[in-house]
């Protein structure tokens, strides 16, 4: 059911302001200010509401709903920062225990509600998806009607359109033609585009700024789509690796295509007597001020036929630091962590208790111990058991926590030439037990003679093929945001009505600068200053308050 | 005192004088009317010149400190809060250039001084940069974000003026609106009282040392910079001539922070109560003479304009540059660190503000309240998230 306007234009059903002459169609007899949003054009969401699709469309096209989703997202996001998320928990903790122990009853509730792992939860994702849907539908619902309305607007305006603009005034001038010419020149200087029709003038600038919101919404959608691509296989790698100095490890997440060698790790702290920073460091609660940590990394690729004899060939080398990662192929190696002075080798001395003579010594590589070590006197030491990270378990048996040699302990085995039996010696750091089953004295006594340490570097392996999409989306978003924010769309209508000059003006934002433009006209021509009808309304309100 | 600190002190006094000049300019016009002739009022211009002078000295502080430490001084609480004060004054200078609103100076310049004053509560010595911050992205990300936050804070200033201008604060009955305005006033008085208090105790070198038992049931020591109302768990006062705590706290409460917080809010309450008792009026009404002649519609527009300028800049600095740097330094562009989340919240909040403004009934007063809330969110991210919530951004 379309509406015919008196100017001859056929406006689609739901139009509030004629797209051609501006005649108010929704409430023609009112004298309230016209609602100029979307130029009073008809939007799909206001026309159809019968089918399910219409209802969904109408729901998501509503700005109110969009704002509602934003507010719920804000509240949800802030709840997730009350206590640390699960991913920031210290390693080795279990969330069930951690939140209760650390934060008491509130922590328990926090965990029970799932807020400890909120940003990856299905409902948070759903919220973001709803936001995306709202952005798409609301934009489509508005862009096309607005575009058509601004494109089809005629210069000649209906009287009541003029009267019902926020800025409106009439004036009598001596020579209308001359006045219009002068006004035109002034507005042209202010970079307005001038259109003339039947002696009327429309001066308009920055219409393109009106597309800004739609451009930035397109950018946001591309960004959100880009972010969701992460869940497709092959798009994203997030792995961690530890490499000891001098060692070469396969880079996880690269399907064995790459190996990385840690040729040396450097760690430096700020000098605590530094001329500039000494006072600041002393005043701070921090115990150490790290200046640099760096891995001299070499990248290798296995070459030759698959199998045991593959040789590693150097591809590239790069000193990796925080803020200076190692890029290769689709991958990036980041410096994220380190462990200084991890035990690497322990040296032992063996003494014959009968002669009190040292009969030999040997050095154990803690990351790769040998089975036996030969002593100078021809005897062999065998490693019966090795506990890299030793502790006594509940049954009072020695065992190890993991493979990291933080607290190494050994059970050595040696043949006793006197008894022909095997002597067992348990030796750890600051721990020495006799574990021989018969509790007899061992002939040979072991003692720790020396140690050597090295550093480990903690690297993160990252591949993120979503970044190009995010960059494009982000760039479009910013362009649209600037386009829509930094240029206001202004229109000034000058019309000849009833032998008078009628002036009306509209802008989508910032009225004070628009008024300045109009002031320039009224100052130079016989046109009198128009009124800001919102101020009038306000003053009326004030009078009421005072009485 | 270093040259940079001298310059900052000079800047502070320029801001103070500018505030006074602006205050004279908005109240001065009335006196001239009584004389029966309007000769124009140049106090606003003098205020503007002085404010620019303050900005120049503040930038002098910034540049000299930058030269000394070798990086933009925005790496700890003192430096960032000071920088935020400077960007707010810069934003004011820009927006005053567009709208020539003298009253805006009366409200925003004191906020600038409060920010710089609050900054001095923290360690003002030079501190070295940790490895993650040793890059030009520190300048790109933090300077842009700080400038955006300064501009957004102007919208708060204009919003407060709008509220003072339009809300009836003289009525006897307390309403949500009068309470809201008084709450804003109370917050700033708290900040003021706290700054004066800590600087005063600091000037006299106040320290009270305790031996106590911490949450791991180990003996530890702690130094209070303010008199201990709330003492630590099983605390034993080691300093002589210091008062004994009134209350002893259990080990799971950070008693020093609680004590500081109690002093801040308590002294704010005393100041607020004293002024209310003496004047027998709401604090807001004391500021109303300054806003009497203000066109509220113009204030609404300034507030909106500031957000329209600041929002894209915040998106650029606080999200886009932040993400690029996070990808470079922390291996991922987004990691749900509390600071990141609160930057997102700030962004979403102002996005909601802009969408609400599409509806005319949300312009004016509701809009002004939203500008106040937006500023509160920025402050939460600046202070609360740094000091209370642990995360990658907790540098101070």
B396 pLDDT higher than 50: no
**Burial class of residue A3 in the structure, from the number of CB atoms within 10 Å of its CB (0-12 exposed, 13-18 middle, 19+ buried):** middle
Q: Which of B22, B69, B9 is nearest to B291 (CA)?
A: B22
Residue B37: predicted pLDDT: 53
| A278-332 tens-digit pLDDT | 888 888 777 778 999 999 999 999 987 776 677 899 999 999 999 999 999 999 9
A170 pLDDT higher than 80: yes
Task: Give residues 187 to 206 of B whose Cβ lies within 8 Å of A.
Answer: none
Residue A285: predicted pLDDT: 72
B40 pLDDT higher than 80: no
B31 pLDDT higher than 60: no
Residue A415: predicted pLDDT: 82
**Residue B317 — pLDDT band, cuts 50, 70, 90?**
very high
B271 pLDDT higher than 90: yes
Measure CA of the first residue to CA of the last residue in chain B; give whole Å: 22
**Residue B336 — pLDDT band, cuts 50, 70, 90?**
very high
**So what's the ipTM on this one?**
0.91
What percent of chain A is modeled with pLDDT above 90? Answer: 57
What percent of chain A is modeled with pLDDT above 70? Answer: 95
Residue B183: predicted pLDDT: 96
Average pLDDT over residues B6-24: 96
| B160-215 tens-digit pLDDT | 999 999 998 888 888 999 999 999 999 999 999 999 999 999 888 898 888 888 87
Measure CA of the first residue to CA of the last residue in chain A; give whole Å: 48
Comparison of pLDDT for A1 and B128, the residue scoring more: B128
- Contact criterion met (CB < 8 Å) for A538 and B297: yes
Average pLDDT over residues B101-128: 94
Q: Which whole-number Å values give the CA distances from A466 to A227, A238, A255, A538, B316, in the listed order?
A: 7, 13, 20, 52, 20
Identify which of A19-28, A160-169, A373-382 has the greatest average pLDDT. A160-169
Residue A417: predicted pLDDT: 76
What residues form DSSP beta bridges with A316?
A299
Q: Which of B127, B301, B332 sits opposite A284 (nearest CB)?
A: B127
In chain B, which residues have their Cβ closer than 8 Å to the Cβ of A70? 348, 351-352, 355
∠A182-A186-A189 over CA atoms, to 5°?
140
∠A148-A150-A155 over CA atoms, to 5°?
125
Average pLDDT over residues A359-378: 89
Tokens representing A404 are: 């990291």
Task: Give residues 284 to 323 of B whose Cβ lies within 8 Å of A.
Answer: 295-298, 301, 304-305, 308-309, 311-312, 315-316, 320, 323
Do A293 and A265 meet the contact criterion of CB atoms below 8 Å apart?
Answer: yes
What count of Cα atoms within 13 Å lies in the side-chain half-sphere of residue A237? 19
Q: Which of B316, B341, B349 sits opposite A81 (nearest CB)?
A: B341
Task: Give residues 252 to 311 of A whose Cβ lies within 8 Å of B.
Answer: 270, 274, 276-277, 279-281, 283-284, 289-293
Comparison of pLDDT for A362 and A535, the residue scoring more: A362
Distance from CA of B148 to the nearest CA of A (A): 14
Identify which of A227-241, A367-381, B48-62, B218-232 has the greatest average pLDDT. B48-62
A375 Cβ neighbours under 8 A, 6+ residues apart: A350, A359, A360, A361, A362, A381
Task: Give residues 112 to 151 of A whose Cβ lies within 8 Å of B.
Answer: 119
What residues form DSSP beta bridges with A299?
A260, A316
Number of residues that make up chain B: 396
Which of A132, A224, A327, A485 is the best mutation test for B, with the most CBs of B within 10 A?
A485
Q: What is the mean pLDDT of chain B?
A: 91
Measure the CA dihedral A241/A244/A246/A251, to 10°: -10
B54 Cβ neighbours under 8 A, 6+ residues apart: B11, B12, B13, B14, B15, B18, B89
Q: At what angle do helices B176-203 and B283-291 cross, to 10 degrees?
A: 100
Tokens representing A525 are: 């021509």
| A296-306 tens-digit pLDDT | 999 999 987 77
What percent of chain B is modeled with pLDDT above 70? Answer: 95
A475 pLDDT higher than 90: yes
Residue B340: predicted pLDDT: 94
Concatenating the DSSP letter of every residue in B118-165 gives HHTTS--S--PPPGGG-STHHIIIIIHHHHHHHHHHHHHHHHHHHHHH
Bridging pattern class, strands B247-248 and B230-231: parallel
Do B4 and B124 meet the contact criterion of CB atoms below 8 Å apart?
Answer: no
| A107-164 tens-digit pLDDT | 899 999 999 999 999 999 999 999 999 999 999 999 999 999 999 899 999 999 999 9
B216 touches chain A (CB under 8 A): no
Do B133 and B75 meet the contact criterion of CB atoms below 8 Å apart?
Answer: yes
∠B334-B338-B342 over CA atoms, to 5°?
90
A526 pLDDT higher than 90: no
B331 touches chain A (CB under 8 A): yes
B63 pLDDT higher than 70: yes
Task: Give residues 249 to 288 of B whose Cβ lies within 8 Å of A.
Answer: 252
Residue A448: predicted pLDDT: 86
Comparison of pLDDT for A378 and A490, the residue scoring more: A490
Q: Which of B134, B338, B355 sits opposite A81 (nearest CB)?
A: B338
Average pLDDT over residues B302-325: 97
A511 touches chain B (CB under 8 A): yes
């Amino acid at each position: 059911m379309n509406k015919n306007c008196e100017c001859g234009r056929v406006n689609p059903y739901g139009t509030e302001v004629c797209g051609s002459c501006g005649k108010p169609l929704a409430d023609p007899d009112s004298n309230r200010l016209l609602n100029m949003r979307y130029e009073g054009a008809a939007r799909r969401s206001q026309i159809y509401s019968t089918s399910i699709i219409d209802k969904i469309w109408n729901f998501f096209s509503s700005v109110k709903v969009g704002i509602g989703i934003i507010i719920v997202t804000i509240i949800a996001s802030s709840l997730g920062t009350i206590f640390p998320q699960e991913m920031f928990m210290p390693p080795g903790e279990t969330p069930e225990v951690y939140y209760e122990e650390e934060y008491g009853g509130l922590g328990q509730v926090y965990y029970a509600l799932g807020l400890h792992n909120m940003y990856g939860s299905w409902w948070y994702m759903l919220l973001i998806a709803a936001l995306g849907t709202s952005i798409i539908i609301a934009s489509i619902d508005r862009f096309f009607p607005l575009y058509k309305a601004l494109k089809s607007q005629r210069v000649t305006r209906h009287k009541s359109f003029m009267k019902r603009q926020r800025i409106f005034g009439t004036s009598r001038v001596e020579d209308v033609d001359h006045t219009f010419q002068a006004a035109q020149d002034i507005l042209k200087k202010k970079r307005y585009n001038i259109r003339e029709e039947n002696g009327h003038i429309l001066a308009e600038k920055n219409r393109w700024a009106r597309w800004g919101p739609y451009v930035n919404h397109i950018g946001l959608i591309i960004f959100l789509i880009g972010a969701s691509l992460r869940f497709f296989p092959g798009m994203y790698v997030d792995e961690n690796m530890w490499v000891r100095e001098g060692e070469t490890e396969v880079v996880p997440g690269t399907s064995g295509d790459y190996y990385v060698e840690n040729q040396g790790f450097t760690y430096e702290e700020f000098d605590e007597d530094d001329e500039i920073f000494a006072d600041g460091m002393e005043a701070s609660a921090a115990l150490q001020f790290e200046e640099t940590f760096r891995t001299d990394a070499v990248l290798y690729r296995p070459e030759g036929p698959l199998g045991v004899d593959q040789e590693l060939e150097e591809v590239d080398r790069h000193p990796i630091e925080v803020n200076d990662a190692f890029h290769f192929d689709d991958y990036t190696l980041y410096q994220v962590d380190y462990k200084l002075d991890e035990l690497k080798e322990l040296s032992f001395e063996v003494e014959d208790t009968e002669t009190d003579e040292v009969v030999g010594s040997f050095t154990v590589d803690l990351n790769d111990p040998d089975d036996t070590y030969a002593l100078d006197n021809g005897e062999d030491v065998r490693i019966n058991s090795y506990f890299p990270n030793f502790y006594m378990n509940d049954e009072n048996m020695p065992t190890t926590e993991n493979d990291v040699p933080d607290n190494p302990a050994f059970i050595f085995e040696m043949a006793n030439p006197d008894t022909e039996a095997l002597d067992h010696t348990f030796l750890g750091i600051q721990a020495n037990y006799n574990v021989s089953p018969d509790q007899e004295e061992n002939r040979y006594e072991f003692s720790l003679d020396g140690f050597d340490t090295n550093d480990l570097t903690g690297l993160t392996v990252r591949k993120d093929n979503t970044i190009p999409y995010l960059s494009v989306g982000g760039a479009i978003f910013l362009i649209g945001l600037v386009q829509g924010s930094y240029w206001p769309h202004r229109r000034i209508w000058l019309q000849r009505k009833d032998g008078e000059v009628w002036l009306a003006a509209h802008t989508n934002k910032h009225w004070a600068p628009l008024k300045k433009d109009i002031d320039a006209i009224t100052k130079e021509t016989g046109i009198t200053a128009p009124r800001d009808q919102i101020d009038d309304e306000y003053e009326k309100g004030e009078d009421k308050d005072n009485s | 005192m270093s040259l940079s600190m001298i310059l900052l002190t000079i800047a502070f006094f320029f801001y103070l004088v500018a505030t006074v000049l602006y205050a004279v300019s908005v109240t001065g016009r009335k006196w001239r009317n009584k004389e029966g002739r309007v000769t124009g009022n140049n106090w606003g211009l003098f205020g503007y010149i002085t404010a620019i002078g303050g900005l120049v000295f503040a930038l002098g502080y910034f540049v000299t400190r930058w030269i000394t430490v070798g990086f933009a001084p925005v790496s700890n609480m003192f430096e960032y809060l000071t920088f935020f004060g400077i960007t707010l004054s810069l934003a004011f200078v820009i927006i005053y250039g567009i709208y020539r609103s003298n009253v805006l100076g009366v409200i925003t310049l004191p906020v600038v001084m409060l920010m710089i004053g609050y900054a001095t509560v923290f360690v003002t010595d030079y501190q070295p940069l940790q490895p993650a911050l040793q890059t030009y992205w520190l300048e790109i990300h933090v300077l842009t974000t700080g400038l955006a936050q300064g501009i957004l804070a102007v919208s708060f200033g204009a919003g407060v003026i709008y509220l003072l201008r339009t809300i009836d604060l003289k009525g006897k009955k307390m309403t949500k609106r009068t309470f809201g305005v008084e709450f804003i006033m109370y917050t700033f008085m708290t900040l003021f009282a706290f700054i004066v208090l800590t600087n005063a105790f600091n000037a006299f070198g106040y320290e009270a040392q305790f031996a106590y038992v911490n949450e791991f049931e180990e003996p530890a020591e702690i130094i209070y910079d303010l008199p201990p109302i709330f003492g630590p768990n099983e605390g034993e006062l080691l300093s002589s001539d210091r008062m004994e705590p009134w209350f002893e706290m259990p080990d799971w409460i950070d008693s020093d922070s609680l004590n500081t917080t109690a002093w801040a809010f308590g002294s704010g309450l005393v100041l607020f109560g004293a002024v209310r008792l003496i004047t027998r009026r709401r604090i807001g009404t004391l500021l109303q003479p300054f806003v009497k002649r203000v066109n509220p519609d113009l204030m609404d527009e300034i507030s909106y304009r500031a957000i329209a300028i600041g929002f894209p800049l915040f998106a650029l600095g606080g999200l886009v540059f932040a993400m690029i740097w996070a990808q470079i330094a922390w291996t991922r562009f987004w990691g749900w660190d509390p600071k990141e989340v609160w930057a997102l919240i700030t962004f979403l909040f102002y996005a909601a503000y802009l969408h609400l403004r599409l509806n005319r009934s949300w312009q004016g007063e509701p809009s002004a309240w939203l500008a106040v809330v937006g500023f509160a969110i920025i402050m939460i991210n600046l202070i609360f998230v740094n000091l209370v919530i642990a995360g990658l951004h907790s540098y101070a």
